Amino acid sequence: MKTVLMVAEKPSLAQSIAKILSKGNCSSRKGLNGACSVHEYMGTFSGQSVRFKMTSVCGHVMSLDFIGKGCDYVVLWLDCDKEGENICFEVLDAIEPVMNRPYGSERTVYRAKFSSITDTDIWAAMNKLGEPNRNEALSVDARQELDLRIGCAFTRFQTKYFQGKYGNLDSSLISFGPCQTPTLGFCVERHDKIQSFKPETYWVIQAKVFKGKESPLTLDWDRVRVFDREVGQMFVNMTKTSREAKVESVSKKEKAKQRPLALNTVEMLRVASSSLGMGPQHTMQIAERLYTQGYISYPRTETNHYHDNFDLKGTLRQQANNPFWAQEVKALLSEGLNRPRKGADAGDHPPITPMRAASEGELGGDGWRLYEYIVRHFIATVSQDCKYLQTTISFTIASEGFSCSGKTLISPGFTEVMPWLGIPLEEAMPVCERGDVFTVEEIKLVERQTSPPDYLTEADLITLMEKHGIGTDASIPVHINNISQRNYVTVENGRKLKPTNLGIVLVHGYYKTDAELVLPTIRGAVEKQLNLIAQGKANYQQVLQHTLDIFKRKFHYFFDTIASMDELMEVTFSPIAATGKPLSRCGKCHRFMKYIQAKPSRLHCAGCDETYSLPQNGAIKLYKELRCPLDEFELVLWTSGSRGKSYPLCPYCFSNPPFRDMKKGMGCNECTHPSCQHSLNSLGIGQCVECEGGVLVLDPTSGPKWKMACNRCNVMVHFFEHAHRVQVTQESCEACEASLVAVDFNKTRSPLPDGETQHSGCVFCDPVFQDLVELKHATMRHPSMTRGGGARRGGRGRGRGRREKKPKDKMAALAAYFV
């Protein structure tokens, strides 16, 4: 029997698709990597009985370690966008070498195209399988290579250059990106307009008139404003010669406020930021979750037009029982839907559409708020336009023209379901006709000032990025998030983006050296070329090489003219030698080095003019004035807080590993020095309970709430609380090979049996210690604090073996769990 391998982009998608196609009759098991499940069922494919195996990838394929057992066909259920096509070919590169050989020219690779996780859409995709699009995959390859090579070159150079000179940049990375930098440029351009704005004083004439006992009307001056006070006063004096306002005309026009176009990604991001207060990155994460759970269609689309065969009525009918909009939906179903406005069809996915009903209790929080907006937007697209009557009355006072206008609602249309877009209630306009006379109540000259533009909101920035072709609907949220994460902008009230000093100086520096690095023009041109690759109209290698040649020349010029940007940096930031506070002594000149707390935190020795890296996202303090036996540098202690991990490190060894089996960024808890009292050899106890290669190391600073922590992940074990002393001995446990621990308690607080104060044993196996050990996870200040890389044990804390034991008591149960 032949096997059909089906691959989705996420485990949750694989499970949902398999459940639909197998009609709920699939078996599931964990895959070899332990992260992705495999769902299996029997069925028919190309007219023959086959075994289906549905699984998923874990992000992009970065290494080819697929352990193949052979399959005959592959059906690719990756996301239906350019990035999804790219992953299709990554998957094929991994699995094609181990697929069974086809008979003759038999087709073995299929591509499923779908836009939502519904029975109808999934079965339609399965019955109409196509092929993966090589051109779209190549366009993504080109974008990724360009962004990586250009970004890395500029980022590495300017980061090393500026962080070595200035101490208060407060950013761990001075990054450059072909899309990220023009995105920042938009924000700084608006900041510059605000800073250079000079307010001008102007004057307007404000007139109030009334008729009989009706409320007075405030009229607008036809000339709007003047910038000369004397001229304004002249017009006031002229109008004050008359106490009557004569009606010159009364016009009434029926107008319509159009219902919205169907919802695409960019519009969803704009509305979520401006109306829901949700950042673009957060919005996309929620939208993807709603999509994988089957509540909405695919959330990455440039299309805002529904095809004629789209089942609008069926989609609307699903929302008929939700109390929030049931009345409007039932009215539309009975009276008939209005055909949505004709938008743009980008040829990718249908507009973002609700695919099944949901309640606030199901989704909760931001998930419900975004879903509610998507539903209301969809209902609005098939509703009538909002209609209103606009009445305008024109007056003359003396010879000057004035007017007033008002709106009266005729039919709310789509604003019933989107009330925030409705026509605001206004006072009714007075009934009058040409030739009527009103009495002038007041005429005065009002002084005002022009105001500067406001900082860009995220919604404004998204509009500019779309207009200039910066990024895609998938990457726009990432670029906006990046400039915030890099400390180039801060998000203020109203989700306004205010550039920091660093962001401003960088953009001004690019303008001084090479304005094209920050202007949107060159990236917009590159995006057009990438789209031509996707359409098969441009050659991948030619576009790639041509663009790389341009930026190679730009990089060399930037390298040669960096001094012009540095001039701006000097004015804004402090030299590294003048930053920070003295903390620990240098092992070379024995002078105090300064601890620079601003990102990236580091130590700087002014005497040697050397800078030493430190672990990030924690606090640094001096470690008992103890010195490294290898280089005489004073040790410092890194800690993530009282509930987190702590370990000492040598600033020199941290950046310059002293032994071959060590890497940069290792502290004393990973140092393989054979005899140092702070090293892994002296303090390592046993293999980590959760990660591969990690070792549980005693934290000698943690008393009296003693703990040992993994030197690789965030596992912590609390033990021997209130002990006077805890030491790692040279002996090992015969059962599990962990290092034995000697514990010394005060007599008044000893939990040991028979009032004993001292005991040596294995924390995993010794029954005396069974109630004194507790597994926890360290509190991290930031996810990136957990550093990868294998741990080195150097003979201490060796593996405890993998013997399975039936737990006899609490301590044995803990030990068994650790194994």
Residue of 49, 50, 53 lying closest to 32 (CA atoms): 53
Tell me, letter by letter, the H, E, C secondary structure of 404-415.
EEEEEEEECHHH
Q: How far apart are CA 592 and CA 140, in angstroms?
A: 50
Residue of 815, 178, 260 lying closest to 525 (CA atoms): 178
Phi-psi region of 737 (alpha: psi -120 to 50; beta: other; left: phi over 0): left
Element holding 190 (H helix, E strand): helix 180-196
How many Cα neighbours within 13 Å face the side chain of 665? 12
* Interior angle at CA 397, CA 393 and CA 398, nearest 5: 145
Tell me, letter by letter, the H, E, C secondary structure of 249-260.
EEEEEEEEECCC
* Interior angle at CA 46, CA 40 and CA 47, nearest 5: 95
Taken in order 643, 649, 651, 657, the sign of the CA dihedral is negative
State both tokens at 27: 């078996």
3-state helix, strand, coil in the chain (%, to 5): 35, 25, 40
Non-local (6+) Cβ contacts of 335 within 8 A are: none
Q: How many CB atoms lie within 10 A of CB 426?
A: 11
Non-local (6+) Cβ contacts of 721 within 8 A are: 704, 705, 706, 772
DSSP one-letter string for 72-127: SEEEEE--SSHHHHHHHHHHHHHHGGGSPPPSTT---EEE---SSSSHHHHHHHHT
State both tokens at 179: 């899309």
361 with 301: CB under 8 angstroms? no
Overall size of the chain counted in residues: 819
Q: How many CB atoms lie within 10 A of CB 611?
A: 20
Decide: helix, strand or coil at residue 298.
Answer: coil
305 with 343: CB under 8 angstroms? yes
Decide: helix, strand or coil at residue 349.
Answer: coil
Task: Calculate the CA dihedral of residues 310, 316, 319, 325 and round it to 10 degrees.
Answer: 140
Q: Which residue type sits at 537?
A: K
Query: Is 388 labeled as catalytic in the residue annotation?
Result: no
Q: Which residue type sits at 336?
A: G
696 with 797: CB under 8 angstroms? yes
**Sequence-ordered strand ranges (E) for 640-681:** 646-649
Taken in order 421, 427, 429, 431, the sign of the CA dihedral is positive
Q: In what order do the strands lie in the sheet with 739-745?
A: 723-732, 739-745, 758-761
- Annotated catalytic residue, options 41, 166, 298, 623: 298
> Which runs of consecutive H residues, i.e. helices, occur in 646-738?
651-655, 680-683
Q: Pairing between strand 244-257 and 437-449?
A: antiparallel
Cis before 419 (ω within 30): no
The radius of gyration of the chain from alpha carbons, rounded to an integer in Å, stands at 35
Q: How far apart are CA 465 and CA 473, in angstroms?
A: 10
Query: What is the set of active-site residues?
Result: 298
